[in-house]
Chains A and B, each alone.
Chain A
């Protein structure tokens, strides 16, 4: 039984259909990278997995529990206990601007998981030290660079010991010279064995970090394969066209 299983997912925005019976599976040793043209539903898929989107049909399972069960007319069922085992980092940081770095890390553990303040703080400092951000603990988000903000956002998600991490274009809003520090942090996390689903436009990073790359178009999986295969020898014509476009390869 796979670690994550998305089954017959149906997602619509009004009359616009994003997914109409979408399936995807992933193992807990996987780092799944989703690629595809803009508007093909990559980010929407992550948002569905986080329980941020109301889905009209299908199910999403994590471990041995189905935690999202779609239904028409906003009657979707969401198991919050399992939802809490999923962590997510967004494109635009979404740190809490009124709290310090430490405050950002400790808010959810203290307020929603009932962890003691001192314990949370210790854990936060450990994480920040690991990320080379210990000297920024008392800073406010507005005093940080984009790369630092994004690493704080990753640390904030890790505070809750997620079993699965979702990364939604986390380097897209960054200045080019700041992309590396965030990608390195994610690589370190990957080496530590964290299962991840990643949406990115950075094909080189995708190739480096992925165990499995999924090429998606118009709400359908066109091709899924290990990175060497998908980038080196794509089977589908549409995958080849897409890669040619984004990698600017002639012919």
Chain B
């Protein structure tokens, strides 16, 4: 390899990259807000076992889990405006698509955690005279949420990475700014490496945190 590294343009373009990172973080936070709340509601809906509710929810979950995030994003960006005659910004469409995608995965995480709480806990509640609502609110859900925390964080940071796809619908995120800078300066190696490192710098501490949280929750919840 005979390549002279030149970091001048990356240094010069760094503020723009950081601006892109802020957009990426903003997308991630909104998508996670949707994913955490909607995912929870979907999981509760699934647990009602009422077919009128569970069938559409199952269709939603499976659709978003079994198609690429890229096609979901592009579909929202191109098809929703035509089908529903609404013209929202690319960024909003990106948040919507990523949020719905994350909610589908989170719903499964919540549901699995709720169902993994041993029935002995339910028996103990009955023996203590707690009714169904008290049992769910004070015993089952707190444990289920703790249990699902590692998966929720993993999914959330996954969406941070997936959000790079929004560059394709011209949202000016980190990926978009990185590609722009790379082509403008003819310095793809320096630029794209920097972009990758920025993604890594955010993701890595969070994924380390998952290990920590996992250890803590599993120790707490062992019985």
Contacts and interface: CB of A to CB of B under 8 A. Distances in A.
Interface of A: 47, 50-52, 80, 83-84, 86-88, 90, 92-98, 107-108, 111-113, 140-142, 156-157, 160
Interface stretch (B10-18, B106-114, B118-126, B175-183): B118-126
A47 B131 CA distance: 17
Nearest to A141: B223
A227 B175 CA distance: 79
B129 A52 contact: no
A113 B129 CA distance: 9
Given A90-B120, A107-B138, A112 B222 contact: no
A160 B78 CA distance: 61
Contacts of A97: 143, 220-223
Interface in B118-145: 118, 120-121, 123-124, 126-131, 134, 138-139, 142-143
Contact of B130 (A47, A95, A108): A108
Q: Which of A94, A156, A157 has the most CB of B within 10 A?
A: A94
Contacts, number: 71
B146 interface: yes
Nearest to A96: B139
Interface size bucket, B side? Answer: 20 to 34
Interface in B40-80: none
Contacts of A92: 120, 223
Q: Is the interface of B mostly helix, strand, loop or mixed?
A: helix
A90 B123 contact: yes
B220 A52 contact: no
B129 A112 contact: yes
A90 B124 contact: yes
A97 B121 CA distance: 10
A185 to B, nearest CB: 18
Question: Which 6 pairs from chain A and chain B are nearest by CB?
Answer: A108-B128, A94-B124, A84-B129, A88-B127, A94-B120, A97-B221
A74 to B, nearest CB: 16
B51 to A, nearest CB: 20
B210 to A, nearest CB: 19
Given A90-B123, A90-B124, A111-B130, A142 B220 contact: yes
Contacts of B219: 142
B220 A111 contact: no
B143 A94 contact: no
11 contacts: A50-B123, A52-B123, A92-B223, A95-B124, A96-B121, A98-B220, A98-B221, A107-B130, A107-B139, A112-B128, A142-B220
A79 B166 CA distance: 59
A85 to B, nearest CB: 9
A153 to B, nearest CB: 8
Contacts of A96: 121, 124, 139, 143
